[in-house]
Amino acid sequence: MHAERRPFIGGNWKMNSDLASAVELAEAVVAALGPAGAAPHALEETVDAAVFPPFPYLQAVGRALGHSAVMLGGQDCSAEASGAFTGQVSADMLCDLGCRSVIIGHSERRHGLGEDDALLHQKLAIALESGLAAVLCVGETLSERDEGRAEGVVRAQLRGCFGTLTAETVERAVVAYEPVWAIGTGRTASPADAQRMHAAIRHELGSLYDSRFAAKARVIYGGSVNAKNARAIFDQPDVDGGLIGGASLKAGDFASICRAAAEAWSATGGH
Ligand code: PGA
């Protein structure tokens, strides 16, 4: 963590829950992060927390979040604004439902559905244009890491996705470093490995834009973060929070991870 960058913690619920359990989870997250669960400050005031439920439950979860500071987000959006795109959901539709964030380029879409940097560039552009705080995911596969290409792959993803977007446009973006081999596997990057890659990402953002932009940009880590390992990862100077999958499905674990971020941040003098 760094005092100048407020932590961002996202809960990516993926294709889990049903309507009733999604609402229940949202209510439990609000209770755990809001004023009632807090001492001395509500966690929702210390960290930027967001939940990303499946599309069909966005409206119900949004209602359950009510006036809490926990943000609602979509797990993806279309690269197109509107029209004949069966099954897709536009960035404006997400805004209409009260979303303030969206995940772009999760590895389950890059590798599971073949989304490439050119498409993700379009999605990122339209999401940011709609006013969403887009969380752009980047990360190498295990074979790319074993071949020593991890950093090159991640830098190329950043260049491909940010492309020609101006610093002003991408100001609201958050970058999530998610090594593909760490997602859902129980195997996290070591804090030192995460720090090394986060520093490389910040460096690349500096070359794409400038050092002032890079110093302000939030780069979060994702891949098997849980209540136990979160603090060691968040203590790294270039890690500004996390994108949490499995552990975000339990409100208590998600709150513990938010608390770890708040404590790591406060240790740097941030508040
Ligand atoms: P995980 O997922 O925490 O279950 O590994 C992280 C993610 O896919 O964003």
Q: What is the mean pLDDT of residues 49-54?
A: 98
Residue 133: what pLDDT?
97
What mean pLDDT do residues 118-132 have?
98
Which numbered atom of ligand 1 lies nearest the CA of 14? Answer: 8
pLDDT band (50, 70, 90) for residue 43? confident
Does a structural domain hold residue 2? no
In a domain, 64, yes or no: yes
In this structure, is residue 3 part of a structural domain? Answer: no
CATH number, residue 129: 3.20.20.70
Q: What is the pLDDT of residue 42?
A: 82
- Cα of 245 vs centre of ligand 1, distance in Å, is 3
Question: Mean pLDDT throughout 123-134?
Answer: 98
Q: How far are the Cα atoms of 119, 124, 243 from residue 254, in angstroms, in the given order?
A: 31, 26, 10
Bridge partners for 72 per DSSP: 51
- Is position 106 annotated as part of the catalytic site? yes
Mean pLDDT within 28-47? 80
What is the distance between the alpha carbons of residues 8 and 46, in angstroms, rounded to a whole number?
Answer: 10
DSSP E strand stretches across 65-177: 71-74, 101-104, 133-138, 174-177
Residue 143 lies in a domain: yes
pLDDT in tens, 178-236: 999 999 898 888 999 999 999 999 999 999 999 999 999 999 999 999 999 999 999 99
Contact between 167 and 209 (Cβ < 8 Å): yes
Would you place residue 167 in the very low, low, confident or very high pLDDT band (cuts 50, 70, 90)?
A: very high
The dihedrals phi and psi of 86, each to the nearest 5 degrees, come to: -50, 130
1: in domain: no
Residue 148's pLDDT is what? Answer: 95
Residue 76 belongs to a domain: yes
Residue 145 domain boundaries: 8-267
Is 224 within 8 Å of 244 (Cβ atoms)?
A: no
pLDDT score for 163: 86
pLDDT at site 271: 77
Counting ligand 1 atoms within 8 A of each CB, the residue from 76, 136, 183 with the most, and so the one to mutate, is: 183
Sign of CA dihedral 253, 243, 23, 69: positive
Instruction: Give pTM, 2 decimals.
Output: 0.96
Nearest to 99 by CA among 80, 127, 138: 127
* Nearest Cα residue to atom 3 of ligand 1: 245
CA 52–ligand 1 middle distance (angstroms): 12
Give strand pairing partners of 176: 137, 220
Task: Please state, rounded to an integer, the average pLDDT across all residues of the chain.
Answer: 95
Q: Whose CA is nearest to atom 2 of ligand 1?
A: 245
pLDDT attached to residue 40: 59
Backbone φ/ψ region at 83: left (φ over 0), alpha (ψ -120 to 50), beta: left
Whether the ω angle into residue 237 lies within 30 degrees of 0, i.e. cis, is no
Q: Give, for ligand 1, the residue of 15, 141, 178, 249 to mutate: max count of ligand atoms closer than 8 Å to Cβ.
A: 178
Predicted confidence (pLDDT) at residue 57 exceeds the cutoff of 70: yes
Average of per-residue pLDDT across 144-163: 96
Q: Is the pLDDT of residue 37 over 60?
A: no
CA dist., res. 105 & res. 160, Å (int): 12
CA distance 103 to 221: 13
Q: How confident is the model at residue 34 (pLDDT cuts 50, 70, 90)?
A: confident
Ramachandran angles phi, psi of 209, nearest 5°? -120, -105
Instruction: Check if 12 has its Cβ closer than 6 Å to any atom of ligand 1.
Output: yes
Residue with tokens 């303030």, as numbered in its chain: 100
If you average pLDDT over residues 114-119, what whole number do you get? Answer: 97
Regarding the beta carbon of 223 and ligand 1, being less than 6 Å apart is answered: yes
Amino acid occupying residue 113: L
pLDDT value for 208 = 96
pLDDT score recorded for residue 38: 54
**Looking at the 3D structure of the chain, how many domains does it have?**
1
